A and B are shown apart, each in its own frame.
Chain A
Amino acid sequence: MRLLLKVFDWTAGLALTFMLAVVTASILTRMLYGLSGGAVNLMFSGAIELASYSLLATVVASFPRAAAEGLVSVDIFTDRLPGWVNGALDRFWSLVVAAVALMIAYAAWAQVAISMRRNDETQDLGMAMYWFYGYEMVAFIAFGLTAAWVALRWNAPRRQVGTEARGEDAA
């Protein structure tokens, strides 16, 4: 499971770096074009599309890690319950997360089949859409497997409270 998480961490990190590179390159080439009065044209098409699909690659690849570290929940109403009840609730919800993630993966598989049949392509760069649906499917399978692992492993699952940039990490 650690290897799986590592692979997706790397994928998400590379995709985020790529997204930053694409957006920056798009700005710089446009500025260069403007400053040179149109003489230096290094602008490339499809920057918006590349950034959008980089976002997909970043976001869905980060979900397995989110499942491993605990999803955001409100624990104030259950805090007074015995520890084993809270543990059982966390495991139960992790199993439900796993089920929903696998349902989304199945839905993405359906989209893979449809887009292959229709030869769907992205608007600007003409990339085959089934690659992206396939990627989404694989990431959600990993998400589901991680959530199931969290639910069934010996150590109790953890929970985060709060969705904004988690302070302890940001610092």
Chain B
Amino acid sequence: MSALSPQLIGFLSIGFLLLLIALRCPIALAMMLAGLGGFAAIVGHGPALAILETAPFDVATSYSFTMVPLFILMGNFAVQAGLSADLFTAARRLMRGWRGGLALASVTACGGFSAVSGSSLATAATMARVALPEMRAHGYSMRLATGSLAAGGTLGIMIPPSIALLLYALITEQSVGAMFLAGFLPGILAYLLYIVTIIIVVRFSAAADMSLKEDAQTLAQALIKAIPVVVLFGIVMGGLYGGLFTPTEAAGAGAFVALLFALFRGMRHAGFATAIRDTIRTSASIFLIIIGAEIFGYLLSVSQISFELVSMIRGMGLEPWQVLLIIIGFFIVFGLFMDSLAMILLTVPIFYPLVIESGFDPIWFGIVAVVAVELGLITPPVGMNLFVIKSVAPDVSMRDIMMGCLPFVFADIVRLGLLVLFPAIALFIPNLLGAH
């Protein structure tokens, strides 16, 4: 037991956690060490060790969390089914005749792929492999090409089914269905803003005419090939809101139907093994951080720092909008340095009571938080999508990729502003369907 107050130990533990992260400590381990250390200082070593008996087991046997690997598996089967290439072909055909048509098609295909993949990085990497060589062959500016793909990839974190929104819903005990519905319009808004951004960039760029004229397939042929994406999205979202499936069953049904598509399109044993292997590797990283966050959550609970934060803010007499701005600023700044899912798992439990106390809607706040964190995906120094695009286009300088993303960062800031000013953008569909 310590002579320090639990609140002070809580704040010191957060400082210790950030120090460990800065010292290259794996994020999951940093959460475990800071959480266990702080908990032991408040409650004692025996109870702290008892957390190790329960926390990993509880997380790994939680039925709610079975959705995570199943949604990831759905995305990986969709890749094996070749849906990414078909989506790009359809989008390419749809955007034929527009200046910057391939960039527009890339973002459109990213939006489509986001509907079967819950991950920004998977979306960016998958679509970059398909679209980047073609944009290069058509003489596109690499800044525009890489920027549109890095930004397009971020649609994966917002358009349902999104792993980030799923985790937010689970840790704040909100309805997964309502959360997914709330992400739909902000996802569409992001897509439209990216399209406008590309149109503006192309209009003011000195590059040659970048419209696409030749195309072997008719629009109908191209769209028919992309139907499986609509089917998958329809099964997951329709099943979920039609009361046919629970969220876990929706993920399972999506993964199973994606498997059928992949098999129908000639996936062999090696493709199946690749999808399973990739799912396991991704899930391992996510679950280690969830276990770390669970252990850190014990410290947050006993130290009561969230409530201390609430009373501090109340004492300062800040208006709710000022509180919100501080939280968003925190998300944006820390999002620059930390991975998006780790950020959500770590910070939401701290800020959530403050958000509720300030009278904000929890579903809307989840969307705002994810959009703010998402900005970090395409901004240096730890913009993960930038690195993903760099790995696909090693000859393009990081500076060019960052410069290419800059107009899209402005688009995201505009979207964040719109979401803060008009919460209905997030809440309209959940309210309309009675899910909220």
Contact = CB atoms under 8 A, between A and B. Distances in A.
B249 to A, nearest CB: 5
Given A20-B255, A161-B339, A51 B66 contact: yes
A73 B52 contact: no
Contact of A16 (B73, B128, B387): B73
Contacts of B255: 20
Interface stretch (B26-34, B190-198, B204-212, B301-309): B26-34
Given A74-B337, A74-B338, A60 B280 contact: no
A62 B157 CA distance: 24
B91 to A, nearest CB: 18
A75 B128 CA distance: 25
B232 to A, nearest CB: 14
Contacts of A62: 280-281, 283-284, 287
B213 interface: no
A97 to B, nearest CB: 6
Interface stretch (B57-65, B323-331, B417-425): B57-65
Nearest to B290: A59
Contacts of A78: 22-24
Given A23-B252, A55-B61, A164-B157, 13 more contacts: A19-B70, A24-B252, A51-B248, A62-B280, A72-B288, A74-B337, A86-B24, A97-B29, A100-B33, A111-B53, A132-B57, A163-B289, A170-B278
Interface of A: 9, 12-13, 16-17, 19-20, 23-24, 26-27, 48, 51-56, 58-60, 62-63, 65-66, 69, 71-78, 86, 89-90, 93, 96-97, 100, 103-104, 107-108, 110-111, 132-133, 136, 140, 159-171
A9 B277 CA distance: 8
| Closest 6 pairs between A and B when the two form their complex, measured CB to CB | A167-B125, A23-B252, A165-B119, A71-B26, A170-B122, A62-B284
Given A73-B26, A108-B53, A170-B125, A59 B163 contact: no
B278 to A, nearest CB: 4
Contacts of B53: 107-108, 110-111
B29 A13 contact: no
Nearest to A136: B57
Contacts of A51: 63, 66, 248
Interface in B1-56: 21-29, 32-33, 49-50, 52-53, 56
Contact of A170 (B65, B282, B289): B282
Contacts of B32: 100
Contacts of B157: 164
A71 B61 contact: no
Contacts of A55: 60-63, 65-66, 69
Given A24-B252, A103-B52, A162 B26 contact: no
A164 B125 contact: no
Nearest to A54: B66
B133 interface: no
Interface of B: 21-29, 32-33, 49-50, 52-53, 56-57, 59-63, 65-66, 69-70, 72-73, 75-76, 79, 117-122, 124-126, 128-129, 157, 163-164, 245, 248-249, 251-253, 255-256, 259, 273, 276-289, 337-342, 381-382, 384, 387-388, 391
Contacts of A161: 339, 382, 384, 387
Given A13-B273, A76-B382, A163-B341, A56 B61 contact: yes
Contacts of B251: 23
Query: Is chain B's binding surface mostly helix, strand, loop or mixed?
Result: helix
A72 B339 contact: yes
Given A96-B29, A163-B285, A167-B388, A132 B280 contact: no
A169 B278 contact: yes
A63 B119 CA distance: 20
Nearest to B59: A59
B62 A73 contact: no
Contact of B339 (A16, A69, A159, A164): A164
Nearest to B127: A171
A170 B288 contact: no
B166 to A, nearest CB: 12
A23 B22 contact: no
Contacts of B288: 63, 66, 71-72
A164 B384 contact: yes
B24 to A, nearest CB: 5
Given A24-B256, A74-B338, A166 B23 contact: no
Contact of B387 (A93, A97, A162): A162
Contacts of B279: 16
A169 B281 contact: yes
A3 to B, nearest CB: 17
A19 B69 contact: yes
5 contacts: A65-B284, A69-B281, A100-B29, A164-B121, A165-B118
Q: Which of B125, B284, B286, B387 has the most CB of A within 10 A?
A: B284
B79 A170 contact: yes
A170 B75 contact: yes
A101 B396 CA distance: 40
Contacts of A164: 119-122, 157, 163-164, 282, 286, 339-341, 384
